[in-house]
Amino acid sequence: MLPVGCRLIGWVLAGGAPSLLSAAMCQAAVSELMKSDLTPFHCSQEAEQQEVALLDSEKLQRAFLNKLRDVGAAWQQQVPASLVPSARFRRSSVHAIRNSRRKMEDRHVVLAEFTQLLGLQDGVEREYYAIFDGHGGVDAATFAATHLHVILSQQEDLAKDTAAAFKNAFLVTDDMFKIKAQRERLRSGSTGVAVLLAGDWLHVSWLGDSQAMLVKQGESVTLMDPHKPEREDEKQRIEDLGGCIAFMGCWRVNGTYAVSRAIGDFDQKPYISNKADCSSVHLSGDEDYVLLACDGFFDVVQPADVPGLVLDALRDVPGGAEEAAQHLVAQAKAAGSGDNITVLLVFLRDPGQLLLQGQRPQCEGAAAP
């Protein structure tokens, strides 16, 4: 017979446990681990001379699993009364492909239990979704996907000024990645777009040309203006710094990167800015879904065509809501995109309602073949 707690841990690690339980157990284990002395996990004496202490990830992982086992043993006997199921349940769909590129440099994050996983105690239910589109390697995208949401959760302004919290989280993430990039001689960069659903508010923050859009009653709603080198204010900002925008198959900053804001790309800072933008929308309850995607999707699919494509997916694709993102990725590829493509859909209403209402966008543009 398995030791007490091991069965519960196995259920969690295998992905069979409810997401709320998994998030709460992981947060409890991390909280206990952070109370202990982490000095034994330092990589070496030399590493301690760095700006941040380097930890042995394998040893730390084993320590975490031991703490998780302890939590499982305790919760096997009695689950905490504070573990209350969320009143909200949203369905999401995500799909990503390497496409014709040599490497897959996109990363995405889905944290429906953001509040529980990060141990926030302010009573606000939050969900976090993000896409990071890397270039010059996957390191910057992986780093941002790993750290941005954690740094965001630690911002004192998160509840009262989410925009400020998001902007600072991007800055801190970039500063942290700079230390890693210098130490390991990395030259990669990454654009990013992140959505935080907090109660009845939708907050979106972005850096670069990955995008998020909202669909409400079958109509696309603009949430943001992506940062591109040819955007007039971006062009002016770069030129004021002494840089230039040149067309070399596409618009590039100083003849190098085809993005004007990103995490990383330190050889072109400050021309490549690390300052994110943020916008917020109050949700009235009649919104259909929010879609996040990298430029591999939006370069070939117009936002006005998205509602029709999603409705087609719900009608025609086996699996409906769960496979809707796969349908959208296939449409972008068929429309000529050769880039990495990642699409993430978060339904704000039951997809079945969208089918019953038969909503389609009132626009002349035809969907991509």
pLDDT band at 145 (very low <50, low <70, confident <90, very high): very high
Model confidence at 71: pLDDT above 90: no
Q: What is the pLDDT of residues 214-267, one digit of tens each?
A: 999 999 999 999 999 999 999 999 999 999 999 998 999 999 999 999 999 999
In this structure, the strands spanning 201-207 and 189-198 are antiparallel
As a whole number of angstroms, the distance between CA 72 and CA 70 comes to: 5
Look at residues 317, 330, 325, 324 and name the one whose alpha carbon lies nearest to residue 343.
325
- State the pLDDT at residue 360: 47
- State the pLDDT at residue 365: 42
Q: What is the pLDDT of residues 310-367, one digit of tens each?
A: 999 998 877 778 899 999 999 999 999 999 999 999 999 999 888 887 644 444 444 4
Judge contact between 197 and 110, C-beta under 8 A. Answer: no
DSSP letter at 367?
A: P
Residue 42: how many other CB atoms lie within 10 Å: 15
Of residues 145 and 31, more confidence is placed in 145
- Alpha helix positions (H), 196-350: 232-240, 295-298, 306-316, 324-334
Burial of 328 (0-12, 13-18, 19+ CB in 10 A): buried
Residue 48: how many other CB atoms lie within 10 Å: 12
Model confidence at 369: pLDDT above 60: no
What is the arithmetic mean of pLDDT over 118-130?
A: 93
Percentage above 70 pLDDT, the chain: 87
pLDDT band at 13 (very low <50, low <70, confident <90, very high): low
CATH number for 92-227+276-357 (one of 3.40.630.10, 3.60.40.10, 3.20.20.120, 3.30.70.2860): it is 3.60.40.10
- State the pLDDT at residue 157: 93
Q: What are the residue ranges spanned by the domains of the chain? A: 6-77, 92-227+276-357
Judge contact between 233 and 227, C-beta under 8 A. Answer: no
Look at residues 94, 61, 79, 87 and name the one whose alpha carbon lies nearest to residue 22.
79
- State the pLDDT at residue 65: 84
Question: How far apart are the two ends of the chain, measured CA to CA in Å?
Answer: 56
Judge contact between 188 and 207, C-beta under 8 A. Answer: no
Look at residues 301, 315, 310 and name the one whose alpha carbon lies nearest to residue 355.
315
The contacts found for 310-314 with CB under 8 angstroms, 24 or more apart, are 310/215, 310/345, 310/354, 311/218, 311/354, 311/355, 311/358, 311/359, 311/360, 312/367, 314/351, 314/354, 314/355
Q: What pTM value is reported for the model? A: 0.88
- Alpha helix positions (H), the chain: 6-13, 19-34, 57-77, 114-118, 139-153, 162-184, 232-240, 295-298, 306-316, 324-334, 351-357
- State the pLDDT at residue 364: 42
Of residues 45 and 222, more confidence is placed in 222
- State the pLDDT at residue 363: 43
- State the pLDDT at residue 277: 98
- State the pLDDT at residue 366: 40
Q: What is the pLDDT of residues 57-70, one digit of tens each?
A: 888 888 888 888 88
- State the pLDDT at residue 76: 76
**What backbone phi and psi angles, to 5 degrees, belong to 360?**
-140, 145
Least confident of 53-62, 175-184, 291-300: 53-62
Model confidence at 74: pLDDT above 90: no
One-letter amino acid at 338 equals G
pLDDT band at 290 (very low <50, low <70, confident <90, very high): very high
pLDDT band at 281 (very low <50, low <70, confident <90, very high): very high
As a whole number of angstroms, the distance between CA 120 and CA 197 comes to: 14
What is the arithmetic mean of pLDDT over 203-210?
A: 97
